[in-house]
Amino acid sequence: MDTRRALLVDAFTTEPLAGNAAGVVPDADGLSVEQMQAVARELSVSETAFLRPSESADRRVRYFTPTQEVDLCGHATVAAHAHLSEEGVLDAGVHTLETNVGDLEIELTDDGVVWMTQSQPTVRPVDVDYERASEALGVPVESFRAVADELPAAVASTGLPFLVLGVDFLDAVGGATPDMGAVAALADEHDATGVYLFCFDTLDAESTLHARMFAPGAGVPEDPVTGTASGACGAYLEHVGAFDTLPDEMQFEQGEFVDRPGRVRVRVGDEVRVGGRAVTALDGTLVVPEIDTDEILEA
Q: State the catalytic residues.
A: 47
Q: What distance in Å separates the CA atoms of residue 188 and residue 166, rounded to the nearest whole number?
A: 19
Q: Residues near 135 by Cβ (< 8 Å), separated by ≥ 6? A: 179, 182
Burial of 218 by CB count in 10 Å (0-12 exposed, 13-18 middle, 19+ buried)? buried
Q: What single DSSP character describes residue 261?
A: -
Kindly compute the dihedral angle of the four CA atoms of residues 64, 65, 70, 74, in this order, to the nearest 10 degrees. Answer: -90
Count Cβ atoms within 10 A of the Cβ of residue 13 and give its class: 0-12 exposed, 13-18 middle, 19 or more buried.
buried
Task: Measure the CA–CA gap between 143 and 130, rounded to whole angstroms.
Answer: 10
> If residue 75 lies in a helix (H) or strand (E), which one and from where to where?
helix 74-86
Beta-carbon count within 10 A of 296 CB: 10
- Give dist(CA 277, CA 144) in Å, integer: 32
Q: At what angle do helices 130-137 and 180-189 cross, to 10 degrees?
A: 140
**Which segments within 187-259 are labelled E, that is strand?**
194-199, 209-215, 220-223, 250-254
DSSP annotation of 74 reads: H
